[in-house]
Structure 1
C-alpha cells in the first residue's frame, strides 16, 4: 500500500511542501528549455541551493562550446517566446548568478564571444532584448568567432557588437533601444577587431541593390541623428572615426565601391535645424528645376591625406570607379581643378614632351655610323649632337623615375633608351636596334596626351579596349594556327630537291620562310606559284586551303565583326573611362606642385564656411 512518506533524497526533494525530482542534469535542463516547458524546471532552484550549484556551473554548461541553458532557450523560441527564459533568469537572480549567466558566451572557435544578447537580436525579439539589458546584459560584448569574421569564409560579418548586429539585420527598434535605454547605452565609438564601428560595418554589408541601399541608408541616418540628439555631438564625430586601415565610413564606401550608399552619403541633407549640421549638402537656392547647392569636401579633397578622390582614382581594383567620379561634388571638384591649373600644366607638359621627342628623333636621325662610342670633335654639329644625346638620356632617367610612381606607359621606352646608352658606351653596335624601338615607343606615348581632349580621349579609350580584348584574343588564336600550319608544311618538303636549289631561292623547308609566306596569305599577298619540292602536293594544298579559310576568310571577318560590336558596346562607357583617366592626370599633376602652391590653389577651389556649432568648426565646401 502506498504511503505519503517521501522517497529518499536520490529520487525526490521537498520544497515548500511540494515534492520535485531530486536530480537535474544538463541534458534534462537543456531538454526542458528547448521544449519551453517550465514544469520540467520545477525544483531546479532548490536543487541548486541544496547542492551549492549555479546555472553557470560546469555541470550545466556544454563543455564542447560553452553553451548555457539560457543560450539554449533563446535558440528555441516559438513565436518569439520561450517561457523558460524568465524562469532561468529568476533562478540565476536568486542564486546571485544573473550577470554571469546573461553574459556567458560561446567558447568554441566558430561562435566565440556570442552571448544571449546577440542571440536575442538575431532572433529579432525586442522584448527579450529589453529583458536581457534590464537584467544586466553587456551591450558591448563582442562575438569574435570565425563565423563572424570578414575573411571570405562561410559566415556572417556584422561587426561583433550587438548594436552592429541589430543595424545590419534592419532592426531600427532594437537600435533605438540600445542607444537610448536607461540601463546601459551602447557606445557608438566602440570598435570590433578590425577597428570598424557600427557605421563602418553598415558600409561593409551594403550592396548596390536599391532595396539594401535604402535600408542601410535609413539605419545609417538614424544612428547619426540619435547620436546627435543624445548630446554626444560635442565629444566626437562618428564619421571621423577611422578603422585599422585608416578609413572613415565615407572613405570605406569609396574603397569598396559601394556607389549607392556612397551617393547617399555625399548628398545627405537634413532640413530640420537640430540635425542640419549633419548634412553634407546644403541647398542655397531653388528656382524651378535649377538648384544651387554647397557640398562638403571634408575627407574628399586632396588637401587631406588619403582623400576620397585619391582612393577612387588610384584604386585600380575598386568597382564602379568611373561612375563614382561622376557624382557630386567629385565631378565639380575635378572640373574646377582642371580649369584652374591642371589643363594649363598638362598643355605645358605636352609641349615639353614634344620638344624632347623632337630632340630624340633628331639625335637618332643624325647618329654617326661606325663603332661607338664616338668622340666629340671640335665643331658645332658634334656639340649639338652631344647636347641632344644628354637631353635624351636625362629625359629617359626622369621618365624612368616617374614610372616607378605612376606613369607606367613610359617605363618600356625609358628602359630601352637607358639600355641603348649602356650598349653605346660599351662599344656595341646593337645599341641602334634599341634606339629604334625606344624612338617608336616614344612617339606612341604621344597618345597619352589625347586625354586632354574629350573626342581624342574617347577614341583612344576605344582603341585600347579593342587591343586588350578583341585583338589580343585574335592574335593568340592566329599565332596557334600560323605556327601549326607552318610546322606541318615544312615537313612535307623533299629535302634532296631543296638542297639542289637552295642557292637560288628560299624554300618551304625553312619554317621561318614558311611562316612569313603564310602570313602573306593572311593579308592577301600570298604567292600561289610553288616549286616542285613538295613530296605530297595534295596534302600541301589541303593544308594551304584550310589555312586560308580559317585565317583570311573566317578569323579576319570575325575580328572586324567583334571590333564593331566592341565599339557599339563601349561607346557609352568610353566617356566615363576618359573622365577617370583625366581625373588620374589631374591628381598626378597636382602631386608635382609645391606644397605652398598646392595649398593656394586648393583654397581657391573650395569655399570656407564657418558653421554655427558647439565646437565652432569650419568646413570646406564646393559649389
Structure 2
C-alpha cells in the first residue's frame, strides 16, 4: 500500500517478449544501431532510420515452454503488433489498421509505454502527431483510448524524447508546433504536462539550425504566433500553466519572445502583439504578479534582454508602450500629458533605464560591445534625452574640471621629467637634499601615475572587457593604463640607480601628451576628428604595420646573409685602421640593415655598400623587389585604404562620438557619492496611479513632435497625470523661459482655455 505522505518510489516492471523477432533479426538490428550510433537522429523522416541503440533489457519470453491449448492456438493466428507495424499504422492515419491492438496488448501483458514501442523516446502518439493530414489523424484518439484502458494514459501522453538533439520534447510540444489547437486541448485534458521542458540541443541557441523558444509549451505557442493556444494554456479547466515558470536559462515566456524577435524587423509585428497580449492577460488573471520584472539567470528582465541583444524594434516598443485602457494603465511606460496638434508632452518611466540604478538598461547598452546596433539604440528616447540631460547637468562641468586637472598634472610631469634629465638627478649620498618644488612635482607625478594604474585595473575588473571591446571602447582607458605602467617602471629603475629609466620616462611623457586627446570628447568637432584617427590606428595602420614588418624582417635577413663580413675598415688613403679606433656598422648587423631598409621605404636610402655584396645581381633583385612591395605598393595601398576609411567612418563618426561621450558620462556618474547622485538624478517622481500614492514612478518629461499621429490626438488626454496636491507651484518665468517655444506653447494654451491652477513646469524639456 502507498500513502500520500510516503516518498515516491520508482516502480519496477518486466516487459514481455512474444518471440516476434528471431535471433537473426536481432543481430541485424544491433549492427544497424552500431552504425547509426554517431549520427544525429532525425525527429521524423522517411529518409533515414531513427532506430535507437540497443540497451540491456530484462524480459521474459511468453513462448518459453508454453503448452499449446486450443485457445492459445487460436491466439497464434492473431496479428502481432511490433514497433514497425504500429508506427506504420499510425503514420497512415487509418485507425482500422489498429484493430486488435488492445486485445494483443492485454494478452501479451504489454503496454504502449514499453521501450520496444519507442525510438529514442518517440512513441506512437508522437509519431501520429508528426503525421497529421489536414490537421487530423484518427489513430491518435484510438491510441489514447487504449492507453486509458490499460491504466498508463498519463505516462503515455507525457513520454518525451531521450535523444540529445530533441531531449524533453513531448506530444504537447509536437501538437503546438503542428498548430493543432484541437489536439492541444485533447492532450491537456488527458493529463499532458503543461510545464514539460524541451531542452535538447536543437532547442538551444548554437551554430547551425536551431529554434530556441523557451523550452516550455506556453513559450512555443507564443513564439509561433498562436494566441488561441496561449489563452487556453493560461486559463483552462484542466491544468493551468504557471505563467512565471522559467526554462533552464531562467527565461520566462516574455524573455523567449524577445530572443525570437528578429533584428531586421521581419517578425516583430506579431512579437510585440503577443508580448502585450500575454502581459495584459497575466495582469488580468494575476494582478499581483509583475511578469515583466522577473529576471533570468543573467539578472536580465525582458527589457534589459532586448537591450543586450540589440532587438531595437522590440526595445523601442517596450519603452514607448502606452495603454489607454484604465485596467492596464499601470502597464504603460509612457504617459501623455497633453497634446496640441503635432506637439505632445509625454512622461517616460525611466525605471531600470536610468544609469542611476545598478545594471540598468543604459549600462547594458553602453558597456556591451557585442551589440551591433547599439549606436542606434542610444538614439531611442528617452535614452538620448537622459544622456543629454546628464551631460548638461553635471557631466560637462566635472569633465572640464578633470581636463584642467590633467593639463596641470601634464605640465608638472613635463617639467619634472626635463629637470631629471637636465640635472641627472639620480639619488646619491652626496646630494641628500633637493628642491622642495621638485619633490612636490615628483610626488604629484607619482600619485597621478598610480591613479591611472589603479583606475585601469578597476575598470577592467568591473567591465570585464573582451579584446575587441578593450581596443574599441577602452582605447583611451588602455592608453592611460599603459601610461601609469610606464611611469611605475621608470620610477623603479630610477630608485635602483639605473639609467635605463630614461627610456621608459620619455615614452611615458610622449604618451601622456597623446592622452590629452581623450578630452576632445567634450567638443563635437574635435571628438569626431579623434574618432577617425582612432579607427585608422586600430584598423588600417595596424594591418599595414603587420604586413610591413613581415617584408622588412624577411628582406633584412636575406641581405645580412648575402653581404660579406669585412674584418677591417680602410681609411680614405687605403691604409687599414684598427677597428677599436674606428668601427663602422656594416650590413652584417641586422639592426643596421633593418634601419637602412626602412630608409628605403621613406625614400632616404643609399647604395654605397655594394662593394661588400657577393652577388650583386641577387642583391639588386632583392632591393628592387623590396622597394616595389613597400615603397610603391604598401604605401599607396595604405593611403587608398585610409581615404576609404574616412569616407565610411564620416557617416558614423557622430554616433561613435556620442557613444564615447555616453561612456564618459556613466564613468563620471559612478565617481559621484550616492547623496550627490540622488540630487543630480534626471527626471522627477510622479504619482501615475488613479488613487493617491498607488503608482509612484520616476519619470522624465519630454516634448515631442509627431506629424504621423497628430490628427488622431486632437483632445487633451491628460494635462498632469497623478496627484497634484503636493506639486509645488512654479516661480515666475525668467526671460529665457518666456523666449522658449515650450513657454510660448503653454501660454497659448492658457489663453485658449480657462485654467484655474498654474501648470507645473517640467523638470526637463526637449525637442525631438
Is the TM value for this pair above 0.5? yes
1:303 maps to which residue? 356
**Deviations 1:292-346 (CA, angstroms, capped at 9, x unpaired):** 3222111111232211111111123233222211111111111111110111111
Query: Is residue 648 of structure 2 the alignment partner of residue 591 of structure 1?
Result: no
Distance in 1 (alpha carbons) for counterparts of 2:335 and 2:688: 13
2:384 maps to which residue? 331
Structure 1 residues 37 and 613, CA, compared in 2 at 3 Å: closer, same or farther?
farther
Distance in 1 (alpha carbons) for counterparts of 2:431 and 2:583: 47
Higher relative contact order (CA 8 A, sep 6+): 2
**Contact 2:553-2:594 within 8 A present in 1 as well:** yes
Structure 1 residues 495 and 188, CA, compared in 2 at 3 Å: closer, same or farther?
same
Query: Is residue 395 of structure 2 the alignment partner of residue 342 of structure 1?
Result: yes
Give the CA deviation at 1:91: 2.5
Give the CA deviation at 1:378: 8.8
Distance in 1 (alpha carbons) for counterparts of 2:73 and 2:82: 13
Distance in 1 (alpha carbons) for counterparts of 2:298 and 2:311: 17
2:125 maps to which residue? 70
1:535 maps to which residue? 614
Q: TM-score, normalised by structure 2?
A: 0.74
SS in 2 for 1:143: coil
1:160 maps to which residue? 215
Structure 1 residues 22 and 544, CA, compared in 2 at 3 Å: closer, same or farther?
closer
- Alignment partner of 1:373 out of 407, 427, 443: 427
Aligned length: 606
Q: TM-score, normalised by structure 1?
A: 0.91
SS in 1 for 2:562: coil
Give the CA deviation at 1:479: 1.7
**Deviations 1:398-456 (CA, angstroms, capped at 9, x unpaired):** 11110112233311110111111111111112111111111111111111111111111
Structure 1 residues 208 and 574, CA, compared in 2 at 3 Å: closer, same or farther?
same
Indicate the structure with greater helix content: 1
1:133 maps to which residue? 188
Tell which deviates more after alignment, 89-98 or 406-415: 89-98
Distance in 2 (alpha carbons) for counterparts of 1:384 and 1:164: 70
**Deviations 1:217-245 (CA, angstroms, capped at 9, x unpaired):** 2221221122223x312x11111001111
Q: Describe how 1:205-604 pairs up with structure 2 within 5 A.
A: 205-229=260-284, 231-233=285-287, 235-367=288-420, 369-370=423-424, 372-374=426-428, 382-406=435-459, 407-496=477-566, 499-500=569-570, 503=582, 505-530=584-609, 532-602=611-681, 604=682
1:61 maps to which residue? 117
- Alignment partner of 1:112 out of 162, 167, 177: 167
**5+ unaligned residues in a row in structure 2: which ranges?**
1-68, 460-476, 572-578, 702-768
Distance in 2 (alpha carbons) for counterparts of 1:398 and 1:376: 32
Distance in 2 (alpha carbons) for counterparts of 1:101 and 1:504: 94
2:232 maps to which residue? 177
Distance in 2 (alpha carbons) for counterparts of 1:534 and 1:100: 89
Indicate the RMSD between aligned Cα atoms, in angstroms: 2.6
Distance in 1 (alpha carbons) for counterparts of 2:412 and 2:667: 25
Distance in 2 (alpha carbons) for counterparts of 1:55 and 1:535: 90
1:41 maps to which residue? 98
SS in 1 for 2:488: helix
Structure 1 residues 489 and 52, CA, compared in 2 at 3 Å: closer, same or farther?
closer
Distance in 2 (alpha carbons) for counterparts of 1:150 and 1:531: 64
Distance in 1 (alpha carbons) for counterparts of 2:564 and 2:205: 67
Distance in 1 (alpha carbons) for counterparts of 2:523 and 2:684: 25
SS in 2 for 1:210: coil
Give the CA deviation at 1:374: 4.8
Give the CA deviation at 1:506: 3.9
2:704 maps to which residue? none
2:25 maps to which residue? none
2:156 maps to which residue? 101
SS in 2 for 1:283: strand
1:17 maps to which residue? none
SS in 2 for 1:67: coil
2:755 maps to which residue? none
**Contact 2:82-2:117 within 8 A present in 1 as well:** no
